[in-house]
Structure 1
């Protein structure tokens, strides 16, 4: 393999916790890959806007896969159209052509003086319950002149051709924050909020939510809009011939002709005939968003043992020519490109301190 990119969302801890968290970790392979990375033009560390509507790893993916121009208009990654295709929601006929958004059922809780979005991963909504809630919401959208379609328990899709300039935020970017800052802004925002409020009222006190609360699950009390994309949009960028661990909306980034693997181990990546490949290791995002740092440490240990150690060996043996680690948190991104020759910098002591900007 000529080059391998490894994207680790939320592999960077908050700066104020970094020293304490890294003290709990024994990760010699990760330390070697980062400390002995090549030094070149440009900064290893990039700072992102605290109020960006996408997380740093989402922005990076948008740039790599040629979505950055649409991303600047829409705020969140344009993925709805391709997600629908992957889920078999569209019939690929002319009547489906238009602007579609992702709609996610979510839980919003009340903080002291504002509303906060909970990580959608924590919802654990079943298909039967999701179908019931969808059938309640669909006629409310029909009344407003919009087509709502079911994808699966987590992802639904809304057609709204007139909302082309509407700025939306990914749910992960908004998670844990005051939702007012990340609510849709621009043409169509009032129409969206009106239907969103109606859905909330119809779901309030529903038997499904009552049962969820009895079972100590969070009620499904709202919906989140993001990912606006025109059906059939083609993108020129094809940076990889294979992608690994692409699940959920990530699959929408891979165009036809790219080998998509939904789950993979390091051994299958290293045995792949691909020349340029990307692996996403997304085990740290959920514990980081919920500030569960004990599970975050456990997740990084697994990445060290299951990925960093075998990939370091592959670099040393020449199985991989070069590798770049792209490691992020909610406000920053760091890159470390390592080669067989850069690993020979014996005078550089491996250290996780390199991960701290």
Structure 2
């Protein structure tokens, strides 16, 4: 009897920040144990099977969802060396020279606390294009005088090229937001240049007119940058058409806003996962990848059963509990 083969999915949803080891998230997760919480996810867990799992830890430079996306594009899985600068440049319509090594410069605010720094989410700065371009021009000479090439891509994304970026591992921006950036600066020999530039940019922007205006308006200033996603331009920078990244959980998780995170989960369940369940009920092959801080698990439609198997599944659907399996154990495993 030939082995059954799981059919390729017609749609694959990837959900980053499905869970976290953070204390606020660990306190919030039991709320999802309620039988009425996430009804569509519960039903999906009863009808899909685990087909893949990416293992890691919370200290890895790359996030699990980044590794899943990278695998879909055929990139080598090298921690901290996934070329997201090239991927984002393609989204921004920026042409990068293929024979150079590029990195993503994210202008941001390093919050000076009593004991340590904290990197704020650049998206929360609401940096306008005019502000971003002015700050970009302010630091351009500093970089270019050191042999770098800089390209403006978007308000939150600048692109930088330099020979020192070859083989340089960097932590994902999503890994560092809300944490001390100093901890995530690698001890790679080529990172010394990066640390020096970060210090010089801090001094250069300290009294920039844009920052003076923002400070007077009660807004966070741009006082540094984070470099990530270094590498040469890969052969493929296009996410496969059947893959959809679901980013609704990202912002509340990075802000440790657990009421908003729980609301976002309910919204994802009522929209994305409802669509996924409808596809399963229509007999389509789908995949769902849930990603946490450490691991990612991919669930997919089971191989098509024979007549007896279909009859058994019909009986199972009719007799099973509507609430389905408790998703908290799965989310805790991420």
Q: Does 1:58 align with 2:58?
A: no
Match of 1:330 among 293, 308, 317: 293
Once the two structures are superposed, the pairs formed by residues 168-187 of structure 1 within 5 Å of their partners are: 168-187=170-189
Once the two structures are superposed, the pairs formed by residues 239-250 of structure 1 within 5 Å of their partners are: none
Once the two structures are superposed, the pairs formed by residues 179-328 of structure 1 within 5 Å of their partners are: 179-231=181-233, 233-235=234-236, 252-254=237-239, 259=241, 277-318=242-283, 320=284, 322-328=285-291
Assess, with a 3 A threshold, how the Cα gap between structure 1 residues 77 and 343 changes in structure 2: closer, same or farther. Answer: farther
Deviation at 1:105, TM superposition (A): 0.1
Distance 2:280 2:104 in 1: 39
Distance 2:187 2:224 in 1: 17
The CA RMSD over aligned residues, in Å, is 2.6
Task: Output the TM-score relative to the length of structure 1.
Answer: 0.78
| SS state at 1:141 partner | helix
Task: Output the TM-score relative to the length of structure 2.
Answer: 0.83
Distance 1:198 1:328 in 2: 36
| SS state at 1:68 partner | coil
- Contact 2:82–2:230 (CA under 8 A) maintained in structure 1: yes
Deviation at 1:348, TM superposition (A): 5.2
Deviation at 1:16, TM superposition (A): 4.6
1:293-331 alpha-carbon deviations (Å, 9 max, x no partner): 11112211221221222321221122x1x2221112222
Which of structures 1 and 2 has the bigger CA Rg? 2
1:253-273 alpha-carbon deviations (Å, 9 max, x no partner): 43xxx55xxxxxxxxxxxxxx
| SS state at 2:256 partner | coil
- Contact 2:89–2:96 (CA under 8 A) maintained in structure 1: no
Assess, with a 3 A threshold, how the Cα gap between structure 1 residues 161 and 309 changes in structure 2: closer, same or farther. Answer: same
- Contact 1:38–1:338 (CA under 8 A) maintained in structure 2: yes
Distance 1:7 1:88 in 2: 24
Deviation at 1:21, TM superposition (A): 4.2
Once the two structures are superposed, the pairs formed by residues 74-113 of structure 1 within 5 Å of their partners are: 75-90=80-95, 97-113=99-115
- Contact 2:57–2:293 (CA under 8 A) maintained in structure 1: no
Structure 1 gaps of 5+ residues are 236-251, 260-276
Distance 1:39 1:136 in 2: 50
- Contact 1:101–1:228 (CA under 8 A) maintained in structure 2: yes
Assess, with a 3 A threshold, how the Cα gap between structure 1 residues 126 and 31 changes in structure 2: closer, same or farther. Answer: same
Structure 2 gaps of 5+ residues are 1-6, 305-309
